[in-house]
């Protein structure tokens, strides 16, 4: 049997990893500023994480949601505390798309409506409704197409107000990334998020903060949406939550009342997933990783902004987009193969930095030096 060939691959096999360093099968070392797509939050093979997941595996790895799993309650308590949303409720699932799918369903159950507002450049995942709310027709199969999703220009308050004025009583939810990731590191403005909050309040629509990529402490606050100083009704999260173990969740405001059968999952919230997620929160808290993300991230952004060849630097904390002119399209590839540094990308020519939250200043400096050399070709 062959693999179904849907991913373009770099010819590199990673066989060992520690914090922000990875090694390939030939023993070549790399600096990892990609984190396997923003997933590695506390660093590869963090000893506390390895111990906690291993210990759990020796006790019980999985049982279904038909029995009490106290680890889920512990996770909810800890997540409430670290995220500052102690009165919110947690539903656990397995991936970012699934988190968004459940958030959109929850909204629809709540207000009994069907329409969703999403934004140009958005990426919310590949399940049916999540992909329908994603601004990329190439990945929307005919069966996913729906008139229920309305795309509006990003950060356009007038267009948003106009949409609500026209059909506000049909709108179930507004879904938005705090910082668009796949869309090229584009931040939602503070006033735009405040406008979403007030219009959702006026029309009883649900404000869903997609924090799958920009959340979990990456920008210095637990949810990047919270820079706007207003609460979302539902926060969705995944990537950094399990440091590589597939676990996702939605944090749900108190006004939503659950009923049995409303949402469900086989794997979501299993023992191993909870152990992984708890280990991540332990480290984020103990090692003050949100602060580190803010400090090292701000330093990187400041230094990158000084480089003349760069068109624009965007982002916050350790979610950084370096927009390059077309003639420097090879820099990302050269960073990997010549300078041995993993980075992410966004179309057409943005380098995305999504490293572990404990990236050191020394590692940031190493990147800056190599990047400047790479720019010279």
Ligand X SMILES: Cc1ncc(COP(=O)(O)O)c(C=O)c1O
Distance CA(87)–CA(118), nearest Å, equals 27
Contact 24, 12 (CB under 8 A): yes
- If we measure between CA atoms, which residue out of 14, 53, 6, 30 comes closest to residue 271? 53
- Least CB distance from residue 135 to ligand X, whole Å? 12
Q: Give the one residue of 40, 193, 232, 238 binding ligand X; rule: CB under 6 A.
A: 238
Task: For ligand X, give the closer residue by CB, 232 or 310.
Answer: 232
Q: Is 315 in the site for ligand X (CB under 6 A)?
A: no
Q: Give the one residue of 31, 40, 182, 280 binding ligand X; rule: CB under 6 A.
A: 182
Task: For ligand X, give the closer residue by CB, 250 or 328.
Answer: 250
Size of the site for ligand X (CB under 6 A): 14
Contact string 150-179 vs ligand X (x = CB under 6 A) = ---------------------------x--
Q: Is 293 in the site for ligand X (CB under 6 A)?
A: no
DSSP-derived pairing of the beta strands 149-152 and 319-323:
unpaired
Q: Is 181 in the site for ligand X (CB under 6 A)?
A: yes
Q: Where are the beta strands (DSSP E) in the chain?
A: 14-18, 21-24, 29-32, 89-93, 115-119, 149-152, 171-177, 179-180, 186-187, 206-210, 234-237, 248-252, 312-316, 319-323, 341-342, 344-346, 350-353
Distance CA(137)–CA(59), nearest Å, equals 45
- Least CB distance from residue 13 to ligand X, whole Å? 22
- Least CB distance from residue 288 to ligand X, whole Å? 25
Q: Is 123 in the site for ligand X (CB under 6 A)?
A: yes
- How crowded is residue 61: how many other Cβ atoms within 10 Å of its Cβ? 13
Residue 325 burial class via C-beta count within 10 angstroms: exposed 0-12, middle 13-18, buried 19 and up: exposed
- Least CB distance from residue 136 to ligand X, whole Å? 12
Task: Name which of residues 196 to 215 contact ligand X (CB under 6 A).
Answer: 210, 212-213
Q: Is 96 in the site for ligand X (CB under 6 A)?
A: yes
Task: Indicate if the alpha-carbon torsion angle 293, 296, 301, 302 is positive or negative.
Answer: positive
Q: Give the one residue of 97, 107, 277, 296 binding ligand X; rule: CB under 6 A.
A: 97
Q: Is 219 in the site for ligand X (CB under 6 A)?
A: no
**Residues contributing to the site for ligand X (CB under 6 A):** 95-97, 100, 123-125, 177, 181-182, 210, 212-213, 238
């Amino acid at each position: 049997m062959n693999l179904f060939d849907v991913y373009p691959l770099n010819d590199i096999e990673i066989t060992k990893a520690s914090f922000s360093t990875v090694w390939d099968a030939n023993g070549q070392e790399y600096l990892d500023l990609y984190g396997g797509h923003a997933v590695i939050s506390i660093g590869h093979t963090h000893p506390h994480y390895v111990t906690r997941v291993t210990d759990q595996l020796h006790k019980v790895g999985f049982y279904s949601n038909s029995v009490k799993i106290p680890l889920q309650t512990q996770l909810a308590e800890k997540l409430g505390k670290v995220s500052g949303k102690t009165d919110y409720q947690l539903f656990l699932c397995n991936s970012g798309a699934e988190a968004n799918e459940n958030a959109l369903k929850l909204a629809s159950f709540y207000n009994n409506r069907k329409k969703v507002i999403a934004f140009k450049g958005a990426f919310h995942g590949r399940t049916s409704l999540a992909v329908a709310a994603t601004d990329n027709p190439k990945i929307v199969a005919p069966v996913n197409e729906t008139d229920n999703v309305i795309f509006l220009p990003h950060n356009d308050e007038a267009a948003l107000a106009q949409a609500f004025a026209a059909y506000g009583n049909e709108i179930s939810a507004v879904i938005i990334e705090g910082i668009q990731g796949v869309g090229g590191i584009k931040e939602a403005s503070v006033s735009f998020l405040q406008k979403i909050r007030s219009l959702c309040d006026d029309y009883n629509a649900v404000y869903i903060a997609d924090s799958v990529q920009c959340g979990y402490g990456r920008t210095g606050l637990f949810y990047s949406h919270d820079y706007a100083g207003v609460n979302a009704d539902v926060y969705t999260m995944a990537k950094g939550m399990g440091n590589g173990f597939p676990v996702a969740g939605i944090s749900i405001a108190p006004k939503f009342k659950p009923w049995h059968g409303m949402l469900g999952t086989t794997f979501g919230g299993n023992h191993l997933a909870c152990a992984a997620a708890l280990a991540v929160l332990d480290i984020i808290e103990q090692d003050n990783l949100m602060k580190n993300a803010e400090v090292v991230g701000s330093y990187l952004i400041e230094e990158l902004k000084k480089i003349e060849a760069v068109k624009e630097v965007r982002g916050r904390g350790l979610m950084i987009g370096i927009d390059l002119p077309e003639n420097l399209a090879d820099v990302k590839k050269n960073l990997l193969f010549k300078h041995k540094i993993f980075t992410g990308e966004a179309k057409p020519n943005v380098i995305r930095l999504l490293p572990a939250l404990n990236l050191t200043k020394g590692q940031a400096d190493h990147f800056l030096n190599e990047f400047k050399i790479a720019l010279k070709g």
